[in-house]
Every structure is written in structure tokens, then in C-alpha cells.
A and B are shown apart, each in its own frame.
Chain A
Amino acid sequence: MYRRENNSPMPKSILAVAAILAILGIGSWIYQLIVGMQVTGLDNNVVWGLYIAFFFVVIGGGAALLAIVGISEFKNILSPDSKSRILLLSITTFIGGGILITIDLGNPIQVFRIATSFKFQSLLVWDFWLLALCFFLALFYLVKVRKDNSGGKVYGLISIAAALFLIVAESFLLSSMLGHHLWESGMTLISFLISAAVVGSAFILLLMPDNRTVRNILLATLVFSLIATLAEVFTGALTGNPETKTEMMLLLSGQGALYFWGQVLIGLILPLFLLLKSYKPIAIALLSIFGTLMGKVWLLALGQWVQGSLVYIPSLPELITIIGTSGIGVLLYGVLVKAFEPKASPKAEQTKMSVA
């Protein structure tokens, strides 16, 4: 049985706020383009920062959305309208990820160069093409769902596989970097899969705040994420090699503590508490996404940390650009929802009636 879903267009007030944030973000990006990457908190030690962390969060979430729609072909958990909305959000996240990479590269033409190099020896090229594949899959899936109310089992299976490959490629991208022992363990893949599931279910909760299944899935993924995060950090701090131990102590009580405790307390325990005690779906979803972002920031910052240097702190232009990108994402989703308004096809109507 389908539950009540938030299929109404996005309120204008939210779109207005998103537009202001988007303008601020674009302004900050232009400033970065003119002055150079020196306006970021990055340096020659820490070369991947907030933009890449947010990219991992957003793309992981988008891939999870695509996978969930794929799963719904085997288990009847989503209505056609919900599938459309989720696919639209998935498409938005993939476009958002593309924007983030463009910002990180500092020049839009650079993305074109990745697309035309076809150097599949590089995992970055794999990541690019898997992202493109997931984007087009989501797009065609959307067209199919709007036409036939369903993508079919084969399409569902392909979508699940593509989404999984994308998340795996991103975790391998980090793991394959030599000399960064924090990223070399299998925990990187596990944490990428769990965080994708957290963000994906948080995204769906934003669309379907009253859906009990989504609520339970988010609850489960948050618990898994909490266990995995604490296990990784405390294992490293208590039994790891001296290098790992130093890094984990930095996370627990040093310069990285803000990120770690931010993730654990604000991004994991607080949403768990809210899920169990006083249900506030929007806050829960946003806190879960924030927590995942904090987790990715410390993973990147600590993985690149070198003895004697300060732990990476994002600069103000970086923060504004990230908030602006989120604004662009909200606007884009609003536009896409408007453009792909669920049409009342005879088949869809029939399904709605049978459900009622």
C-alpha cells in the first residue's frame, strides 16, 4: 500500500531562498575563478577538501536513489509518481555532482577534457563515465516510468548495478591513492556504501516525510553508520599503528574533533534520537546529510594530514560555494519537478485507482 507522499510543487518561499543562496554561491565561485584556488583552505598537503567531500555525499546519495528505484521493481514499495520524484532528485544530484567537480577543477573546460581523454587506466575517468551512465540511466528510467509506470525488472537490475559500481568506483578512487593508509582499508568501501544509503534514504525522507518504510531504512542506516564510524575510529585509536593512532587521536580530541564529534553527535545521534522520540522528518534528513558530509570531510582531511601541519579547515568562499551549490540543487529540482509534472496517463490513472 502506498503512503501519503509529498507530490506538491516546491513552495515559492523555499525556491526564493534557494535562488538567493545560488546567487551567493555563483558569486563566490566567480571570485575563486578570478583569484585562484588560493581562496580555498586547500594547500599542497591537503588537495581534496570540502568540494570533493560534498561531491562524494551528493553522488553517493544520487546513486542510492537510483538503486532504490531499481529495487522497487522487485518489491512494490514506490508508486509511479514517487519513482518519478526520486528519479528527478537523482538526476539533480548527478548534475549537482558535475557542478561540484567543475568548481573543484576551477574551469568548466577541464571537465570536457576528462570526457574526451578515454584514458581508462585512470579511476577518475571511470568515475566520470559511471556518473554519466547513472545520469542517463536515471533520465531514461524517468521517461519509461512516466510512460509505463514502471521501468521493468531488467532496467531495475541495471540501475542497481550501475549505482553500486559508481559508489565502489568512488571509494576505490580514494583507496588507490598510494601513501594514504587511512584510505587503504576495506572500511573506505564500507563507509562509502553506508553513507550512500544514509544520504539516499534522507533524500527520500525529504520527499516522503510520512513514509514509515523510509523512516525505518534511515534508522537502520544511521545505526550502521554510527557503528562503522565508531569502530573505525576507536580501533585505529586503540590498536592501530602509531601513524593511524596519531590521526585518530587528532579526530577524537585534536584539531579534527569538530568534524568527528560533529558527525557523531549532530549527524548521527541527534537524528537517531529525533527518529525515535519526536519525529521531525525534514530536520532528521538534513542532519543526516550534514553528518555524512562531516564524515567525508574528516576522512579527506585526516587522510591527507602530514605530521606537523594543521588539519584542513574550509575557507569562507568554499563554505559559501557549497551552500550556493545546494541552493542551485534545490532550484534545479524545483524546475525539473515543474517540467516533469506527473502526467495523468490512462495507465497511471488506472494504477492510482487500483491502489485507492
Chain B
Amino acid sequence: MACMAYPSAAHLCAQVVIPADPLAVREGLKALFDTILLRSLPEDRRGTAEIVLAEALNNIVEHAYARHSGDIEITLDLRGPDLVCRILDSGLPMPKETLPEGRLIARADVSNLPEGGFGWFLIRALSRDLDYRRVGGRNLLSFRLNTQQAMV
């Protein structure tokens, strides 16, 4: 795993490349959240960023790399009040090359409570400008997170 944070005149940036497995996701998040960039965020915004990034990465591990292994590249850029997040992987494309809707399922009773499907709902609820595209045979997921105002 490589992780670096580099300040430039225009913005702060951090990048990490991890193998696609759940423990590497955990370690990669730890490395990212140790960077100057993410340590500079208010506590509440850091928490939100960790939820969204973890859900996006877990989804890639579970679905995009369901049939083979590979790497995930995460790049974070602080641009004004926004943390711009870009995640690249070489796994399978999204079904129909479209992002899942991520709707909460209305619950009936305890025995019918959903045990999954919360991931895309959380990503959509907590991010802005969510975009997915295939670029040169890779998946590119991008979104923005507000680093200043509490959105929820």
C-alpha cells in the first residue's frame, strides 16, 4: 500500500492504492485518515467521509472484484470547501453501467428487516455530484463531500 499527501499552492491532495480486500480497505482508510488533509477536517466531516469512502470501497471489493483480485486507487483533493473523491478500480463494470439507486426498503416487521442494501443509500445521502463512468476499461467513481457545513 502506498499513501502520500502532498500540499501544493492550489490544494491539498492525498492518494492511496490498496488491494481489493476488506482488511486492506480498513488499513487504507486508516492511512488516509492519518494524512494532514483528512486530519484538517472537522471531526463530524471526517466521520462522514469515512462512512462514504468505506461504503464505496466495500462495494468495489464485494462486487467489482467478485471474480478476480486487483487494486483500488483512491485520490482525495481539497478544493475550496469540498473534498473531491475519485476512486478507480479495474473490476467488473456496474450492472448496465449505472449506479444503484440505493433506496431504503420500507420495513414491515422485525423478521423482514433488511440486513443489507444500506451502502448506496448512505453514499447518496452523504455525498454530492455522485458520478460513475467506465474509463479505459476501468471504473471511475467520483463525488464531493462538504468539509465545512454539517449536511445531516
**Bind each other:** no
